[in-house]
Copies of this chain bind each other. A is one copy, B any other.
Amino acid sequence: MISQAVEDYLKAIYHIQTSGRRPSTNAIAERLSVAPASVTNMLKQLASMKMVVHTPYQGAELTELGAKIALEVIRHHRLLELYLTEHLGFSWDQVHDEAERLEHVISEEMENRIDEALGRPLVDPHGDPIPNRDLVVEEELLTPLSELLPGQRGVIARVSDRDPAMLRYLNDLRLVPSASIIVTDKAPFNGPISIEVGNERHTIGVELATHIRLSAVKDAEKVPSSENPVRPNDAVG
């Protein structure tokens, strides 16, 4: 039997890996709000169960088995998030915590019935892709809004789902998946970013902007206002 703790650690490592960072002891500890010593402890267990490769002092890496388990739980999480919004009327800021608990206990049967009820969906309410039944998932290359330069445009693809207050704020601003935005200004020294979305303009901080990731980033044809020189998109990654 795979404990909930094991599932949580594997999921955390997966998320750190796919966000391009190194799954260090500290990074895992911070994400799970546990002490680093607890992480070391668990990494040894995970390694003995062949779920991660643990190189002491160098962090961990998921094995195929570990990734499979992580993806199974992530599939549960994202299907649940979508189900709760679509079929039980939850708002998008409420579903993360609920899914966080449910994801560990639903059966394959229930996973499949939810999947069917939703028409085998591909993304959850925050734009996160849902692994399919074979646990294959396409993690697209996305650009954080914080990396866009004035004059660039893009389409919001994913937003972080973990902070309800942030999600409510983003919703107020209509900064939701599939919304098109243009960066009109960006203050120096990691200053706030001005954007246009719909017919509105907003200015948001860099911290928030890192939690918004975009697809289809390119230079706008006509830059509405901003004579700052726009270099041919470097940051697209």
Contact = CB atoms under 8 A, between A and B. Distances in A.
Tell me whether chain A's interface is mostly helix, strand or loop, or mixed: helix
A107 B113 contact: no
Contact of A88 (B89, B94, B97, B113): B113
A136 B94 CA distance: 28
A113 B101 contact: no
Contacts of A109: 90, 94, 98
Interface string A63-88: 00000000000000000000010011
A107 B84 CA distance: 12
Contacts of A98: 106-107, 109-110
Contact of A105 (B84, B101, B110): B101
Contacts of A105: 101-102, 104-105
Interface of A: 84, 87-90, 94, 97-98, 101-102, 104-107, 109-110, 113-114, 117
Given A88-B114, A88-B117, A102-B105, 13 more contacts: A87-B117, A88-B110, A89-B113, A90-B109, A90-B110, A94-B109, A98-B106, A98-B107, A98-B109, A101-B105, A101-B106, A102-B102, A102-B106
